[in-house]
Chains A and B, each alone.
Chain A
Amino acid sequence: MKQLFSNPLALTGFVLISLMLVLALLAPWLAPYDPDAIQVKDILLSPSANHWMGTDGLGRDVWSRMLFGGRISLLVGLVAVGISTAIGIILGAIAGYYRGWVDTVIMRLVDIMLSIPSFFLILAVIAFLSPSITNVMIVIGLTSWMGVTRLVRAEFLSLTQREFVLASAALGARDWRIIFKHCLPNSLTPVLVSVVLGIASAVLLESGLSFLGLGVQAPQASWGNILTDGKEYIQFAWWLSLFPGLAILITVLGYNLLGEGLRELFDPRSTNSR
């Protein structure tokens, strides 16, 4: 932790993300209005003391919607990456530990998945299912596990040759014990970096999908669909595009900085750590 704070990149990222998470968690207490309350006499008000970020095309308070939308956007990022990481670790561990035809099958599957432009795969799947926040999380999770699989497999390939693993195998330890007790904990460092960066791309993906109308559905707010609503009014209601855009920017920047910082921290080749 101390090392983390001594790295300016990681520290900045950590602060930005913490800020966003705190705002999202405290949304019900911080939001001055009901995020879904429609007030047609107040439509498209510019930012003021009453409405810090103005109001949208239906007179809803944008600041309140940003706070609640942030919950959705951040939740989607965390859950989707949780799913992809779980799949990635399991498949990577199996491939790296057992090798042989199992490894071949899993790695070819990874190659196939990587060869499909995944944004369009997600678009197609969501269009086929009905768009909802659950589906978005699951689909993003199911289409972005390949990187973690490769990382974990690579770690396992080298770990299974190490003396302590060979020793425990020689002592008759079962496969699952070697995988979970010995190899996995030692392979998680690079995974942590990729998880942090993965959240950033999942947040962006969710925003993109919601922007296209295929993500979180009305009246629930997410940064992506606040942006979409703003598109219609961009000629004169700049606040509807600026604030969600900035929120996405800050969050993604935060995760990327934290990820880069962690990588520098853990990478034995980098000079300014350890």
Chain B
Amino acid sequence: MPLSSACWSHLADGVRCLSARTPNTWMLLLYLLVTACSQPPETASPALHQTYPPQPGGTMISAMPSDPSSLISMVAGESASSAISAHIFNALLQYDQNLDLTGELAERWEVSADKKTISFHLKPGLKWADGHALTSADVLFTWQLVTNETTHSPYASDYQLVTQAEAPDAHTFIVHYAQAFSPALNSWAGLQILPKHLLQGQDVHTTAFAQKPVGSHYYQLKEWRHGEYLKLVKNPHAALGEPNIDWLIERIIPDPAAQFLELMADNIDSMNMDPITYARIIPSRPALQARLNQYKELGNSYTYLGFNLKHKPFDDMRVRKAINLAIDKQEIIDGVYLGLGVPIASPYKPGTRWSNPALTPYPYDPQQAKALLAEAGYRDTDGDGYVDRNGQKLSFEVLTNHGNKEREKTVVIIQRRLKEVGIDIRVRSIEWASLITRFIKTGDFDAVVMGWGLGLDPDQYNIWHSSQQKPGQFNFIGYHNAEVDRLLEQGRVEFDQEKRMHLYHALAEKLYNDSPIVYLSAGYGLTAIHKRIQGIMQPVPPAGVGYDSQKWYIPSPLRRTEMQAN
């Protein structure tokens, strides 16, 4: 007889859970046995390894996890939208392969002596895909649109610093700032210019243009089946010349596992993936690996252990440094990211000009960590294995966001290493939204394992400046250093890239010595692209594997047949 009828439903829940799992395991075992007996024949044709001369034509199929809500990215504010609209619209400026600013629609630009005025000069003969001329009036219109209160653009703040914008002639666009603002140029590389003649007088939130855009970049939208795919065709009037590949198809496949199955079935040519798929699953399938090029590139982001500097004992720099020295970052990179990460010593992507090459990551040195703790007054006086001061053991709670497997594993490794130097930490993983609203915004935490994703401009005023500590702002760890504040303020008004570099190197050094956070690792972005796509820049430039994708081509012997492509 059951404990109660309700208990049977627990049992049933559990049994469902088990039975759903066990057949998988058995099928997997069976699969392993079958594949062990007979390796599948090599399906990749040898022609894949041959390099062909560039030729136009063909279709490239990619996968993305979600459907864009609108192709006007300043309204949508989501990565799905900008991934597509970046093929359709141009900005005034762009980053070159070494991540230096260069012209896109603008041929050249000048910054006035007082750094408060920037003049952009457009290239001659620019056209929209429908044949209309693209002029500075379109740029002015776009600026008015993004700063308009009714547009509610999440990107508006940078453009609202412009006090006055003007288009004195068809090729010139001038902006005035109240104060010099060096991230300004970066902001003009991010604003996609929209056509005035099609959008004027329309409500940007409801306009049909958002579903049927007309741009000036390499591709134009041909067909959009919501939730299924977007089909782009090359734009004959493209401002920067024609791309090689005729068609781009972006399939909407929300589940990464389903994306991977499509990649295995050769129904998509490229996808982004996690370290396990990249480093373990693909190498375990030689036939699949043989037809893919795998790319790993350092993203502009890093994971860190951040302390609440307003809580004891984190106000003591020696304790922060001791914790930094007690954590083996390479162990986290090897164990969690399967080696697909690098240790860092500054809050900038390693290898870029902003990253200070003189700094080396804190070593793993538990002995020195213990010495620093002793110096700060923490010793194990009661022999329980944990250090204490005034009868209080050194113990705190580390929060991270639930469901992020990499961070959850990272915390377990940190817990283990800190235990070895006598620090007791409790781990709690909390769902993202409540982690932010309940703990981060209220400042009610000891330490967190989180990450920062950064833009290309080195300005990190929002993260480190002492004025940015209000609830919801990014300096939630409560970092305050007058020298750092000064460097950040100078960096914002300095236009000379060389001088800016020195300012940010000095900033990184201050942070290194203060150790307000422990840099854990900068992770790689991992991509697999089918070998039929050729012309990908080798080695991958700092701007990323997707740089210069208009030069990619698909040799005709390697193309899918018309049936497959459609």
Please give the residue numbers on chain A whose beta carbons come within 8 Å of chain B beta carbons, in ascending order: 36-38, 40-41, 43-44, 57-59, 81, 84, 113-114, 116-119, 130, 144-148, 150-151, 190, 193-195, 197-198, 200-201, 204-205, 207-208, 211, 213, 217-219, 227, 232-236, 238, 241-242, 245, 248-249, 252, 263
Cβ contact within 8 Å between B18 and A248: yes
Asked whether any CB of chain A lies closer than 8 Å to the CB of B1, the reply is: yes
Cβ contact within 8 Å between A146 and B21: no
Interface string of B398-414 (1 = CB under 8 A from A): 00001101001101110
Q: Jot down 24 A-B pairs with beta carbons below 8 A, ordered by A.
A: A37-B416, A40-B334, A57-B409, A144-B6, A146-B6, A148-B3, A148-B4, A150-B4, A194-B2, A197-B1, A198-B2, A201-B10, A204-B13, A207-B17, A208-B17, A218-B408, A218-B427, A234-B24, A234-B25, A234-B28, A236-B281, A238-B28, A242-B25, A249-B22
Most buried by B among A38, A208, A263: A38
What is the predominant secondary structure among interface residues of chain A facing chain B? helix
Of A40, A59, A114, A232, the contact of B4 (CB 8 Å cutoff):
A114
A219 contacts which chain B residues (CB < 8 A)? 412, 415-416, 427
Cβ contact within 8 Å between A144 and B14: no
In whole Å, how far is B129's beta carbon from the nearest beta carbon of chain A? 43
Cβ contact within 8 Å between A190 and B1: yes
Q: How far is the CA of A200 from the CA of B276 in the complex (A)?
A: 35
Of B2, B11, B25, B334, the contact of A204 (CB 8 Å cutoff):
B11
Cβ contact within 8 Å between B25 and A241: yes
Q: Say yes or no: A38-B335 contact (C-beta < 8 A), given A118-B10, A197-B1, A197-B2.
A: yes
Asked whether any CB of chain A lies closer than 8 Å to the CB of B433, the reply is: no
Asked whether any CB of chain A lies closer than 8 Å to the CB of B29, the reply is: yes
Asked whether any CB of chain A lies closer than 8 Å to the CB of B563, the reply is: no
B6 contacts which chain A residues (CB < 8 A)? 113-114, 116-118, 144, 146-147
Interface string of B256-284 (1 = CB under 8 A from A): 00000000000000000000100011001
Cβ contact within 8 Å between B1 and A263: yes
Q: How far is the CA of A238 from the CA of B8 in the complex (A)?
A: 29
Q: How far is the CA of A36 from the CA of B419 in the complex (A)?
A: 11
Cβ contact within 8 Å between B7 and A245: no
Most buried by A among B18, B32, B331, B408: B18
B276 contacts which chain A residues (CB < 8 A)? 232-233
Cβ contact within 8 Å between A238 and B25: yes
Q: How far is the CA of A147 from the CA of B405 in the complex (A)?
A: 38
Cβ contact within 8 Å between A245 and B21: yes
Asked whether any CB of chain A lies closer than 8 Å to the CB of B9, the reply is: yes
In whole Å, how far is A88's beta carbon from the nearest beta carbon of chain B? 8
Of B11, B17, B331, B429, the contact of A200 (CB 8 Å cutoff):
B11
A233 contacts which chain B residues (CB < 8 A)? 276, 280
Asked whether any CB of chain A lies closer than 8 Å to the CB of B428, the reply is: yes
Of B21, B405, B412, the contact of A241 (CB 8 Å cutoff):
B21
Interface members, chain B 311-363 (any A CB < 8 Å): 331, 334-336, 338
Cβ contact within 8 Å between A213 and B429: yes
Cβ contact within 8 Å between B335 and A43: yes
Q: How far is the CA of A198 from the CA of B5 in the complex (A)?
A: 11
In whole Å, how far is A185's beta carbon from the nearest beta carbon of chain B? 19
In the complex formed, the residue of B with least CB distance to A115 is: B6
A84 contacts which chain B residues (CB < 8 A)? 3
In the complex formed, the residue of B with least CB distance to A194 is: B3
In the complex formed, the residue of B with least CB distance to A145 is: B4
In whole Å, how far is B115's beta carbon from the nearest beta carbon of chain A? 49
List 10 other contacts, CB 8 Å, given A118-B6, A147-B4: A41-B334, A144-B4, A147-B1, A190-B1, A217-B427, A217-B428, A234-B24, A238-B25, A238-B32, A245-B21
Q: How far is the CA of A37 from the CA of B416 in the complex (A)?
A: 8
Count of chain B residues near A, Cβ 8 A: 45
Q: Say yes or no: A144-B408 contact (C-beta < 8 A), given A38-B331, A43-B335, A236-B284.
A: no
In the complex formed, the residue of A with least CB distance to B274 is: A232
Cβ contact within 8 Å between B412 and A118: no
Cβ contact within 8 Å between B280 and A236: yes
B32 contacts which chain A residues (CB < 8 A)? 238
Of B14, B29, B402, B416, the contact of A205 (CB 8 Å cutoff):
B14
Cβ contact within 8 Å between A245 and B2: no
In whole Å, how far is B259's beta carbon from the nearest beta carbon of chain A? 14
In whole Å, how far is B435's beta carbon from the nearest beta carbon of chain A? 13
Most buried by A among B7, B25, B28, B408: B7
In the complex formed, the residue of B with least CB distance to A203 is: B14
A241 contacts which chain B residues (CB < 8 A)? 21, 24-25
Cβ contact within 8 Å between B2 and A147: yes
Q: How far is the CA of A145 from the CA of B21 in the complex (A)?
A: 29
A249 contacts which chain B residues (CB < 8 A)? 18, 22
Q: How far is the CA of A127 from the CA of B22 in the complex (A)?
A: 28
Q: How far is the CA of A36 from the CA of B412 in the complex (A)?
A: 9
A146 contacts which chain B residues (CB < 8 A)? 4, 6
In the complex formed, the residue of A with least CB distance to B29 is: A238
In the complex formed, the residue of B with least CB distance to A246 is: B22
In whole Å, how far is A144's beta carbon from the nearest beta carbon of chain B? 6
A57 contacts which chain B residues (CB < 8 A)? 335, 409
A218 contacts which chain B residues (CB < 8 A)? 408, 411-412, 415, 427
Cβ contact within 8 Å between A245 and B22: yes
A118 contacts which chain B residues (CB < 8 A)? 6-7, 9-10
A198 contacts which chain B residues (CB < 8 A)? 2-3, 7
Cβ contact within 8 Å between B1 and A40: no
Cβ contact within 8 Å between B18 and A245: yes
In the complex formed, the residue of B with least CB distance to A200 is: B11
A41 contacts which chain B residues (CB < 8 A)? 334
In whole Å, how far is A43's beta carbon from the nearest beta carbon of chain B? 6
Of A43, A147, A151, the contact of B7 (CB 8 Å cutoff):
A147
B24 contacts which chain A residues (CB < 8 A)? 234, 241
Q: How far is the CA of A216 from the CA of B415 in the complex (A)?
A: 16
Q: How far is the CA of A238 from the CA of B284 in the complex (A)?
A: 14
Cβ contact within 8 Å between A232 and B1: no
